[in-house]
Structure 1
């Protein structure tokens, strides 16, 4: 959860936890209940590889570069 949200930030782990729990609740309600762990693993790997500094770090970098 911390890696997805952003290491070294105050709101990163909170945002990462909210993202993971929301995704888990959303996916468990449908037909994908058996594959929820595989889907979450793939999303986790994509987030870690794409956003090296987490969601909060990427947002801060985007904000810093564009504004």
Structure 2
């Protein structure tokens, strides 16, 4: 019985920590100045220094 109660306490703490980390990650991704450092997809696609019209042209091809 003690083991199950202790396991539940640890599990609840891990869920709370996971939720806090999820919220923090979402806030970091919403901050526009940090986006280029956190998201490498723009660099992989090669559209990092393009204007909007060049992006649309790249996507439509």
Shared fold (TM-score, shorter chain, > 0.5):
no
Whose Rg is larger? 2
Determine which structure has greater relative contact order: mean sequence separation of CA pairs < 8 Å that are 6+ residues apart, divided by chain length: 1
With normalisation by structure 2, the TM-score equals 0.39
With normalisation by structure 1, the TM-score equals 0.36
